[in-house]
Structure 1
Amino acid sequence: MPVLRHSPPLPPVMAALCALLATGCAWTPQPAQAPVAQATPAPAPVPAPAPEAVPTPAPAPSTGGNVAGQARSFSTQHATYTAVDFDTLPGWSRDDFAESWDAFRSSCGVLSKRAAAWREVCDRAGRVDGKNNNAIRGFYEREFSVYQIRDDDRSPRGVVTGYFEPEIKGSRSYSPPFIYPVYAQPEDMLFLDARAIPAGAKGTVVGEVQGRNVTIRRGLSTREMGSAGFYTLDLTGLNRDALDRRVRLRADGRRLLPYYTRAEIETKGAPNARVIAFVDNASALYEMQVQGSGRIRLPGGEMIHVGYAEQNGQPFRPTVAKASTGRPKGVRVRGSSIELEIDDDDESDIQAGVLTRGFTLARPIKSGAVAVPGQRATAPLSGSGIQDPSYVFFREVDKKAESSVGALGVPLTAGRSIAVDPRSTPLGYPVFVSTQQPNSAKPMQRLTLAQDTGGAIRGAIRADYFFGSGPDAANSARRMKQPGQMWLLLPRGLKVAASTASGVRVRGAGLGLPECLVPDEGSCVEN
């Protein structure tokens, strides 16, 4: 992952002033200033329906941190959240909420097990008529507070892209042209919690392997270090920036090393990983890895559905195509975010590279055979020519599933599920997105559910629409790269962004602020 930049310290007087300004307080929401006008002005808001026989929840008393519905604004390292009224959301009154209701209920199945505030909200959702648009809108307005997301520079504008479920031709057995393996999660992959590495520790430490987990051990005698289960681990070069704070490792003799890079997997094979299938196109396989799921059509017509299982722990560094000026097309790295610039992609750009999730990926310059355990290469081993060190492993999913399963663990809904950066937008939460349709100025404003993520999705105001599967979905997703704004719906009374007393934002940098809006062991944890 990119290295986070730090701003120089401020003079004491300025630091004190910033700390004072950053202090939050409880409040009663008031009408907020309307956001920037959209291409198509929103009509007068439809009056909210009369409440059902369901009591409006009272916000829980604040006992530290920030509470949704009480705090007017709060910040994390990557974003700032400002409370607004629902009727200021462009297109809110026109949305068809019934289209997203099933997706919301799927999120409830996960979130209700994690927080009391969500459990109560989801219980009351069970008494809402899921086909009544006014009833659903009234439910959201009673149960949630809405906050506009701004990035660490307080800008409300970001980029909205699209993704889809690709389909590749393949075979269960190795037979040219089906020579590129689709690997399942390796059995030799080990995991170390990066938070367990002693602060300031450098050089070599001792790690104890128990099952798949590695524990840092200190104070061992020479005799103990020689026992089975203990390995040396060089901390140099470890990637500790994964959102789940897990370092992926492998054992090599009595040493622990970072797990294999893409180049190593392609030129040496992955003997400890089961091959799900073999496909005929290295670029299509890489696109499926970037998308995070896909379908493999076998010669007899059978379809294998695969979903994300694991990643090799290496940073996501795609080889981006260059414009005629020689500069990378529409992407730059700033701090811990991957920022996409809106550019004018035309057919020639699309033919020159693979357009996916907002990136125009360069086609491999060379393409040779990759190593497959137990098989003789049909061409000199040179790998796929893809330079990105990251590598995604898959798992077979239920053949009866009608859609991909996202990072939240629920099936994705075409047009209503989005992939987000879980540091700023927690998985499972409702998000209202205002953007434009692919290659069009026509507004696309709707309530979505944050149910997926991905290595290419980094940034506070960053949404990736799931368009589904098939040629039409692929065409729309590849051409989706539009400016957008995002509003996050938080259950009233939910504790969020529990910053330290000294938390302050200075020129885009969050000092003493939490990294995750809502910590979650499966997607974003504090360092």
Structure 2
Amino acid sequence: MTRWALVPMLVMALAACGDLSVYHAPPPVQDASRPDATRAAEGPGQPGTETGAPALEYPTNGRMLQQPRSRWIPVDWAELPGFGADPLGEAWSSWLRSCERPGTLAAVCADVKRLAPASDEERRAWMLARLQPYRIENLDGESQGMLTGYYEPVADARRLPDARFKNPLYRVPGPPAPLGSRKPWYSREEIDTLPEPQAALRGREIAWLEDPVSVLNLQIQGSGRLRITEADGRERMVRVAYAATNDQPYRSVGSWLLQKGEVRDASWAGIRQWVAANPARVQEMLWVNPRVVFFQEQLLTEADTFVGPKGAQGVPLTAGRSIAVDPQSIPYGAPVWLASSGYLPLQRLVLAQDTGSAITGAVRADYFVGTGPEASAVAGRIKQPLRLWVLWPR
């Protein structure tokens, strides 16, 4: 395991590769050039309020509850597969991060903090006494859904362009066509071909990458790390985090290649093989996805080295213990029991801390695997059945 890979211990096996269809969007950041950037100033409140979903009261007294895209069915703890075997330490660290957000399950966060030094047996006994498991179903009563995986890429970059490194990552665009001057903003193809968006992005380059597919990957994952060579030749690691998008719809280049019969493997490895064999068609493939993500650069401290980027809840993600969910089904900060079989068998406690444009529906989750190429190899192969239970205060 490399210094930059935060991959949990995984059971590795060969399996079919999933399509690349996930775009992750942590909270936007305020930018002086973006007049409509308001959500960054709004802190999360009672679970459900950030996304327009009705707030869930607690305790719920064990009755069925309904969210806009799911219903919660109270069940016995015996229904949760593997509950007695999960080592809870990593999950507890992730839960403590969620409790840093005001209003996130405040009824139990004091106990979660108190149990930080406790044993797994003590934590499990508290969960049995204090929480009620609810099976997540869609509104038609279906309780099985789909699990996919995502990760934080690492890429080489240059602060200044050269003959090799000529594909930019941009900050939020400014004058003469700032973000918000039109909705949606210019598409990927228009950015590449029209003078007005090019002028708005001139001087907004964070760094330059060698591979345009790496740029697309960073935009789809929503954040990443750059091993960047500065203008004076020094090398350092920085993080680029989501700032905003052009509000264009997301289109999967993997799905496009599959539909056209161009590939049989829509993982990043399969796409890169196609790119190597079809260099003249790379631009055609990239323009299939009109959505562009703009980033902000963040200092990567020693402490940040061992945690993931911030998810939509506003807390750092934990490899193997954070999931992206549809907040219209499960509120941010909720503890969730996850069970999935397939390439990566999982029965564990996770925290709902992120979302993504492709993560919609009741029983749908994206599993944060970690950082770097090892995480990439795992995340691209996760596409398997899923069951979820929310653990809510009694």
Within-5 A mapping of 1:257-276: 257-268=183-194, 269-273=197-201, 274-276=204-206
**1:184-241, Cα deviation, whole Å (9 max, x unpaired):** 1234699xxxxxxxxxxxxxxxxxxxxx9xxxxxxxxxxxxxxxxxxxxxxxxxxxxx
Are 1:405 and 2:281 an aligned pair?
A: no
CA distance in 2 between counterparts of 1:249 and 1:362 reads 37
2:79 equivalent to 1:88: yes
Task: Note closer, same or farther for the CA distance 1:148–1:477 as it changes in structure 2 (3 Å cut).
Answer: same
1:72 is aligned to 63
**Structure-to-structure mapping, 1:308-319, within 5 angstroms:** 308-319=242-253
Q: CA RMSD in A?
A: 3.3
Bigger fraction of residues in helix: 2
Pairs within 5 Å for 1:15-94: 68-94=59-85
TM-aligned CA distance change 1:99 to 1:455, over 3 Å: same
Distance 1:318 1:122, change over 3 A: same
Q: Report the counterpart of residue 24 of structure 2 in structure 1.
A: none
**Structure 1 residue 409 displacement after superposition:** 1.6
**Which amino acid in 2 is paired with 1:266?**
D
Change (3 A) 1:349 1:258: closer
Per the alignment, do residues 328 and 383 of structure 1 end up closer, same or farther by CA in structure 2, a change over 3 Å counting?
A: closer
Contact 1:87 1:93 in 2 (8 A): no
DSSP-derived class of the 1:431 partner? strand
Following superposition, the deviation at residue 298 of structure 1 comes to 2.1
Secondary structure at the residue paired with 1:147? strand
Aligned with 2:215: secondary structure?
A: helix
How do 1:307-456 and structure 2 match up within 5 A?
307-321=241-255, 351-353=269-271, 366=280, 385-400=286-301, 401-402=304-305, 403-436=308-341, 439=343, 443-456=345-358
Corresponding position of 1:143: 130
Question: Secondary structure of the equivalent of 1:484?
Answer: strand
Distance 2:245 2:312 in 1: 13
SS in 2 for 1:163: strand
Q: C-alpha displacement at 1:70, in angstroms?
A: 2.0
What's the offset of the Cα at 1:426?
A: 1.3
- Once residues 168 and 367 of structure 2 are traced to their aligned partners in structure 1, the CA distance between those partners, rounded to angstroms, is 28
Taking a change above 3 Å as real, the CA distance of residues 257 and 453 of structure 1, as seen in their structure-2 partners, is closer
Structure 1 unaligned regions, length at least 5: 1-63, 191-211, 213-247, 251-255, 330-344, 369-381, 493-527
AA aligned opposite 2:335: P
Q: Which residue matches 1:288?
A: 218
Q: 1:280 to 1:367 in 2, by over 3 A?
A: farther
Q: Which residue of 1 aligns with 2:151?
A: 164
Task: Provide the secondary structure at the position in 2 that maps to 1:297.
Answer: strand
Q: Is 1:480 aligned to residue 382 of structure 2? A: yes
Q: Which of 1 and 2 has higher RCO (CA within 8 Å, sep 6+)?
A: 2
Contact 2:339 2:386 survives alignment (8 Å): yes
Deviations 1:264-320 (A, max 9, x none): 222234434421111111111111111111111224431221111111111212233
Could you tell me which residue of structure 2 aligns to residue 153 of structure 1?
Answer: 140
Mean alpha-carbon deviation: is it higher for 265-274 or for 482-491? 265-274
SS of residue in 2 equivalent to 1:385: helix
More divergent stretch after superposition (456-465 vs 282-291): 456-465
Separation in structure 2 between the aligned mates of residue 159 and residue 328 of structure 1, nearest angstrom = 25
3-state secondary structure, aligned to 1:99: helix
AA aligned opposite 1:297: R
Distance in 1 of aligned mates of 2:268 and 2:109: 43
| Aligned-pair CA distance for 1:324 | 7.5
Mapped contact 1:364–1:384 kept (Cα < 8 A): no
Query: In 2, Cα distance between the equivalents of 1:325 and 1:257?
Result: 29
Q: SS state of the match for residue 315, structure 1?
A: coil
Aligned counterparts of 1:189 and 1:80: Cα–Cα separation in 2: 47
5+ long unaligned stretches in structure 2: 1-54
From the superposition, tell whether residues 384 and 186 of structure 1 become closer, same or farther in structure 2 (CA, over 3 Å): farther
Q: TM-score, normalised by structure 2?
A: 0.74
Secondary structure (helix, strand or coil) at the match of 2:146 reads strand
More strand by share: 1
Distance (Å, rounded) in 2 between the aligned partners of 1:153 and 1:361: 42
Q: TM-score, normalised by structure 1?
A: 0.56
Partner of 2:250, secondary structure, is coil
Q: Name the counterpart of 1:279.
A: 209
- CA radius of gyration, larger in: 1
CA spacing shift, 1:187–1:471, aligned 2, 3 Å? same
Matched, 1:466 2:371: no
Contact 1:151–1:461 (Cα < 8 Å) also in 2: yes
The CA distance in 1 between the partners of 2:379 and 2:205, in whole Å, is 28
Change (3 A) 1:416 1:354: farther
C-alpha spacing 1:100/1:89, structure 2 compared with 1 (3 Å): same
Against the structure 1 CA distance between its residues 159 and 393, is the aligned structure 2 distance closer, same or farther, given a 3 Å change threshold? same
Q: For residues 176 and 94 of structure 1, do their structure 2 counterparts lie closer, same or farther at Cα, with a shift above 3 Å needed?
A: same
Distance 2:136 2:190 in 1: 40
Percent of paired sites with the same residue: 34
Contact 1:178-1:280 at 8 Å conserved across structures: yes
Aligned to 1:173: 160
Residue by residue over 1:224-260, the C-alpha shift from the partner in whole angstroms, topping out at 9 and shown as x without a partner, is: xxxxxxxxxxxxxxxxxxxxxxxx731xxxxx55322
- Return the letter of the residue paired with 2:180: L
Secondary structure, in 3 states, of the residue corresponding to 2:111? Answer: helix
Q: How far apart in 2 are the matches of 1:387 and 1:189?
A: 26
Aligned to 2:111: 124
Q: What count of residue pairs does the alignment treat as equivalent?
A: 328
- d(CA) in 1 for partners of 2:215 and 2:241? 13
